[in-house]
Homo-oligomer: A and B are copies of this chain.
Amino acid sequence: MDIAAGLLAAEGPQALSTRRIAAEAGSSTMAVYTHFGGMIGLVREMVHEGFARLQDHLTKVVWTDDPVSDMALLGRAYRRNALANPHLYAVMFGGFSPAGFTLSDTDRQHGRYTLVNVAQCAARCIAVDRFDPGDPELVAHRMWVATHGLVTLELGHYLLEPYDADRLFEAQLVALMVSAGDIPDAAERSVAESRRRLDDEVATRLPQH
């Protein structure tokens, strides 16, 4: 049942309709209501799954003795997850205008929970004197805001040549590390190291064939 819903989210954005899902599952529209209490309950469930999947991606990065490289890798994992499930990511962050869908405070808190990984990594960056002393949660938020902005514009096809998303992302990564206190040369090296680590550590299965 959830599988059918996930499949539909991957095939199309507004293919999420009670009748479409019912036809795909060989069932009736009532199934959606008995299991999820309506359409918005279903998308809420999918948002939860989306955050869980994001959490999976972020926890894949292992902590090395270069926390700045770890931090950059967290950003890469975040972006990779969003690009692997573009429609799901759009729904997670408000891309579901119809039916007055608004995610509850607990939902948002659940989403913000993924930030603890980043905050811990920021704390390690500060501990080894790569980042300036300060609030690790604040720098985690700054990383999140910038990366989310880039991913959002990339998914909306707003980032075109010659300022494509790849180039902007690389530049933004080192800029974020520098603005957090790291030395430009060191930041450049750590970001480059994270680029090498990406494919090994955070392998992404395609959005369900």
Contact = CB atoms under 8 A, between A and B. Distances in A.
Interface SS of chain A: helix
Q: Give the copy number.
A: 2
Given A146-B149, A149-B150, A179-B176, A141 B168 contact: yes
B97 A157 contact: no
Contact of A178 (B93, B160, B178): B178
Q: In the complex, which range does the number of interface residues on chain A fall in?
A: 35 or more
A10 interface: no
A98 to B, nearest CB: 5
Contacts of A156: 93-94, 108
The 6 closest A-B pairs by CB, nearest first: A149-B149, A179-B179, A175-B179, A94-B156, A145-B149, A148-B149
Interface of A: 13-14, 90-91, 93-100, 108-109, 111-112, 137-138, 141-142, 144-150, 152-153, 155-160, 163, 167-168, 171-172, 175-176, 178-180
